[in-house]
Amino acid sequence: MKKAFIIIGMALGVNFGLSAQEYKVITSVESIIPSGLGRSRIINALEDKDYKEYTSVQTAEDNTRNKSKRGNIRVKNFEETKLLNFFNLGGIRFQNIAANDAMLTSMMNDMVANGWELAFVSSAVESNAGEDDHQGIFITRYIFKK
């Protein structure tokens, strides 16, 4: 009898250990365009996509392509939370950065309260960096898991 309980306990433990993890990506885009002309947002997709539907296999022998249209990849249901731009007419605006930090903190606290754990953060800056560079974004991806 004791062995049966041990075997059942081990089986349940293995079952819990093999449970799949779920990931969620939320992206913040913060404008680094002077004069406050850009748009800054937190973006959260509200629908799932199966990447396999948009993946093609290409080999030297058989060049098979997935015939799905690129427009079908677009997510039409998403949340868009406004953020403030890094710059205004006077230059860099530190109050805007602090306000964005408060918004992102609120979003992360909400995710954690809903059972998500922040697993990774990845960020980058896009700008042409030319002599008359007047465009760019600061993008951060927050990858959550549960």
pLDDT tens digits, one per residue of 14-25: 555 556 899 999
- Give the C-alpha separation, 139 to 74, whole Å: 19
Q: Give pLDDT tens digits for 60-119.
A: 766 555 556 777 888 889 999 999 988 877 878 899 999 999 999 999 999 999 999 999
Give the contacts of 45 (CB within 8 A, at least 6 positions apart): 25, 75, 77, 78
Question: Among candidates 90, 91, 80, which has minimal Cα distance to 40?
Answer: 80
Please determine, for residue 31, whether its predicted confidence score (pLDDT) is greater than 60: yes
Q: For the chain, what are the domain ranges?
A: 21-145
Please determine, for residue 57, whether its predicted confidence score (pLDDT) is greater than 60: yes
Quote the pLDDT of residue 40: 92
Quote the pLDDT of residue 86: 85
Quote the pLDDT of residue 111: 97
- Report the alpha-carbon angle 40-75-36, nearest 5: 10
